[in-house]
Structure 1
């Protein structure tokens, strides 16, 4: 018997049609489609509630696209931000976010194996000691945020992270805790395109 969230059953929360959306949301989604070549399912799934969509993506952009959002704090690279998302989303059992953000992680880091590695066991992954310390902190925020103490900040500082970086790690982890739960409870499925992105090097262009 199919579960309520099985891909083969009708969705409980069907995504709205693009042309039925408010103009500002439609324009942003079309920008994403132009850049990526497809529309990630999260953009349409959350658009059923436009006010929440705007709030969600405003906060997403503030913590994940700092250069574009004008927020200068912190030193995390784009790849490190995606590494946090992929690792903590796996801990939360979120299929959509692991697959989608794992794809972006592979592209930013130019490492085809890294997303699978950090999703399964980041302590055994081919990442730097700095990144491992970052993920130690992220996972403690993810699973035991009430137990964060001074020693956790000191462990980050030993690898060159400051208090603003710690805030970023925590904010990304917490925000995607929300995203993970919304995606999982609603049965959101990753786009097929995400599964193969960044796994093989691009073929060189003909001379």
Structure 2
């Protein structure tokens, strides 16, 4: 496991439009220095999303190790656990939330993962072209519309939406997985917006 190389002194373009390009994320606040991190911070950093290297975002969240220690296993379980909604379906839920919240970095990550998993770049192309008005195949439309509605106006989401998802072929477990994937990105999008900005890679 490795900490990121510090590139904060290299000016790079901030990205404001949705893309499938891999992006970097530059924090507005200081990151925890892994070498001088406290034992509690190191313990929280020992498990990372996707079990990849420690990102700048995670090093920022490590300022509150107790929250990070709970957040990372929860995130991994919601997005990567076996059974229930497909990985691609969860990524589409995350993408829908990120489009509504205009989190360019999260949208880029989860659009790319959706394409990798489902081999349907045309779905992402349509979402990026028309955003919340995207016209998708029926199954993808059901997942995306639910993500949009839950993110835009959660107080209006209820029995009708669940009925529609069941009619689209989702089990109750799959519906719960979709809700979790959308909901956690309501949280993640707001943290990423507030704490930093997406940039093009060097």
Please tell me the TM-score bracket, short chain as reference: 0.7 to 0.9
Aligned to 1:202: none
Equivalent residues of 1:100, 1:190 under 8 A apart: no
Q: Determine whether 1:108 maps to 2:117.
A: yes
Aligned to 2:19: none
Matches within 5 A, 1:1-207: 12-21=28-37, 22-29=41-48, 31-33=51-53, 39-67=54-82, 72=83, 74=84, 76-119=85-128, 120-121=130-131, 124=134, 127-189=136-198, 192=201
Equivalent residues of 1:15, 1:45 under 8 A apart: yes
* TM superposition shift of 1:123: 5.0
Q: Which ranges of structure 2 fall in alignment gaps of 5 or more residues? A: 1-12, 15-25
Q: Which has the larger displacement, 94-103 or 22-31?
A: 22-31
Which of structures 1 and 2 has the larger relative contact order (alpha carbons within 8 angstroms, sep 6+)? 2
Going from structure 1 to structure 2, the CA distance change for 1:42 and 1:145 (only over 3 Å counts) comes to same
**Counterpart secondary structure, 2:198:** coil
* TM superposition shift of 1:158: 1.2
Going from structure 1 to structure 2, the CA distance change for 1:26 and 1:152 (only over 3 Å counts) comes to closer
Going from structure 1 to structure 2, the CA distance change for 1:122 and 1:147 (only over 3 Å counts) comes to closer
The number of residues matched between the two structures is: 174
Aligned partners of 2:199, 2:72: CA distance in 1, in Å? 18
Q: Which ranges of structure 1 fall in alignment gaps of 5 or more residues? A: 1-5, 34-38, 194-207
| TM-score normalised by L of structure 2 | 0.73
Aligned to 1:197: none
Equivalent residues of 1:84, 1:169 under 8 A apart: yes
* TM superposition shift of 1:100: 2.1
Going from structure 1 to structure 2, the CA distance change for 1:43 and 1:103 (only over 3 Å counts) comes to farther
**Counterpart secondary structure, 1:15:** coil
Aligned to 1:203: none
Going from structure 1 to structure 2, the CA distance change for 1:192 and 1:83 (only over 3 Å counts) comes to farther
